[in-house]
Amino acid sequence: MNDETSAAAREPGFSTLAIHAGAQPDPTTGARATPIYQTTSFVFDDVDHAAALFGLQTFGNIYTRIGNPTNAVLEERVAALEGGTAALAVASGHAAQHLVFHTLLTPGDEFVASRKLYGGSINQFSHAFKSYGWNVAWADPDDISSFEKAITPKTKAIFTETIANPGGVVTDIAAISAIAKKAGIPLIVDNTLATPYLWQPIKDGADVVVHSATKFLGGHGNSIGGVIVDAGTFDWSATDRYPFLSKPRPEYQGIVLHETFGNFAFAIAARVLGLRDLGPALSPFNAFMILTGIETLALRMQRHSDNAQAVAEYLAGHPKVAWVSYPGLKGDRYQALAQKYLPKGAGAVFTFGLKGGYEAGVQVVSSVELFSHLANIGDTRSLIIHPASTTHRQLSDEAKVAAGAGPEVVRLSVGIEDVKDIIADLEQALAKV
């Protein structure tokens, strides 16, 4: 191999992709940062061009609900970082999940989901999806065989998170992927908490990855957004169970999306059938904010993880703390899985329990000064919440405990401030308990 071909074959590293993938200087103005194409619609070259765009015979911009050049850079970048073939940017993480399942399920279908998920996803699956006739069966990520047991002839997908919010559960994605492959169904993975910097679940067998870009991808607590990544790995035509992909589409003159678009057909279907018709488009301004955030993803995720590790170790040694659930800690229940899947660090989000129970939890969130008391994660700032008095308040005591939100539980999303300031703030708040 000569030097030229070996240079061409070199794969750029993660940080390089995080800054450059999908972007180039604007061809008309030379603008180096990706411009915000704040326009609803795009002029056609002529009537034939318009017809080809509407018929999916050529790629291009029509209307920002369906696609936008700023959003397209974000899509290409996240696809590159996750190692997928294509992606679709949408208005929120929940919109991403909605479009993924809309592309896979018809009324009466089932899917299996881990019961350890972001609370909003549990609500979406239990209530909103039910009204579409999409039925969830819950499985336990601490007992992988429960995923297999929950599969029926109507099951069309498995859904899980890499690191599960809020409790620091590390999911054995490769083992769940083996179950999905055996059943001939795709594995959908929510990679919001790990981000592709810490974990690329496509390498472990995920067929579709979803993100709440609101969290660490954007990273600055200023923009809601979501992304769907197509791994290009699933054979949608092996059975007739995924008609959006494998059957002629009446919306597009009988085109079969999988046949036409091959290993990025899922991303196309989610766009031209889901996003086009259901409408949760991402604002180009938010795409710009999220792209800017992604440029520093590697730096931020490493600092988030390093800070969280130090804070977890500090809390584990504190006399008023009953327990700390962080996969980076020695002896943690998920330590072995974290060593396998998260060698760079175990992320920013974890929970700990206070010996003083509910009252102590309320005292700590009322006493912090640097931490912000709010219901979000993945900000540069350190965030704290006491689920039992806020997000999980409406649940029965039993349900609170089952959801990992018992009276003594406090959740942190450790920011990227100086770690000594983060620890000092917890120190003074704990002193008031």
Binding site for ligand PLP (CB under 6 A): 92-94, 118, 120-121, 161, 165, 190, 192-193, 212, 214-215, 224, 226, 377
Min separation Cβ 128 and ligand PLP, Å: 12
Q: To the nearest whole angstrom, how small is the minimum distance from the Cβ of residue 391 to ligand PLP?
A: 11
Which pairing describes strands 155-161 and 372-373: parallel, antiparallel, or unpaired?
Answer: unpaired
Q: Which is nearer to ligand PLP, 110 or 161 (CB)?
A: 161
**Phi and psi based region of residue 10 (left: phi greater than 0; alpha: psi -120 to 50; beta: remaining):** beta
Pick 211 or 271: Cβ nearer ligand PLP = 211
Residue whose CB is less far from ligand PLP, 192 or 307: 192
HSE value, Cβ hemisphere, 13 Å, CA-based, for 32: 1
- Smaller CB distance to ligand PLP: residue 61 or 214? 214
Residues whose CB falls within 8 Å of the CB of residue 3, separated by 6 or more in sequence, listed in order? none
d(Cα 365, Cα 160) in Å, to the nearest integer?
30
**From the CB of 342, what's the least distance to ligand PLP, in Å?**
16
Q: Which is nearer to ligand PLP, 224 or 272 (CB)?
A: 224
Residue with tokens 């327990």: 323
Judged by CB, which is closer to ligand PLP: 171, or 214? 214
CB of 51 vs ligand PLP, minimal distance in Å:
36
Least spacing, CB of residue 224 vs ligand PLP, in Å = 5
Least distance in Å: CB of 347 to ligand PLP? 11
Closer CB to ligand PLP, residue 75 or residue 190?
Answer: 190
Alpha carbons 177 and 179: distance in angstroms, whole number:
5
Cβ nearer to ligand PLP, comparing 135 with 192: 192
Q: What angle do CA 408, 414, 417 make, to 5 degrees?
A: 140
Of 379 and 425, the one with the shorter C-beta distance to ligand PLP is 379
Q: Residue 325: helix, strand or coil by DSSP? A: strand
The torsion defined by the Cα of 177, 94, 403 and 185, in degrees rounded to 10, comes to: -20
Determine the Cα–Cα distance for residues 77 and 99; give it in Å rounded to an integer.
20
Degrees (nearest 5) of the Cα angle 222, 227, 228?
Answer: 170
Do 145 and 115 touch, CB atoms closer than 8 A? Answer: no
Q: How far is the CB of 163 from ligand PLP (least distance, A)?
A: 9
CA atoms of 414 and 348, how far apart (whole Å): 5
**Least Å from the CB of residue 328 to ligand PLP:** 19
3-state DSSP assignment of residue 118: coil
Nearest distance in Å: CB 54, ligand PLP:
30
Residue 94 CB, nearest approach to ligand PLP (Å): 4
The torsion angles phi and psi of 57, rounded to 5 degrees, stand at -90, -15
SS3 417: coil
Task: Give the whole-angstrom CA distance, residue 162 versus residue 61.
Answer: 34
Residue nearest to ligand PLP (CB): 93
Tokens of 344: 């760079």
> Which CB, 93 or 221, lies closer to ligand PLP?
93
Distance CA 172, CA 161 (A): 10
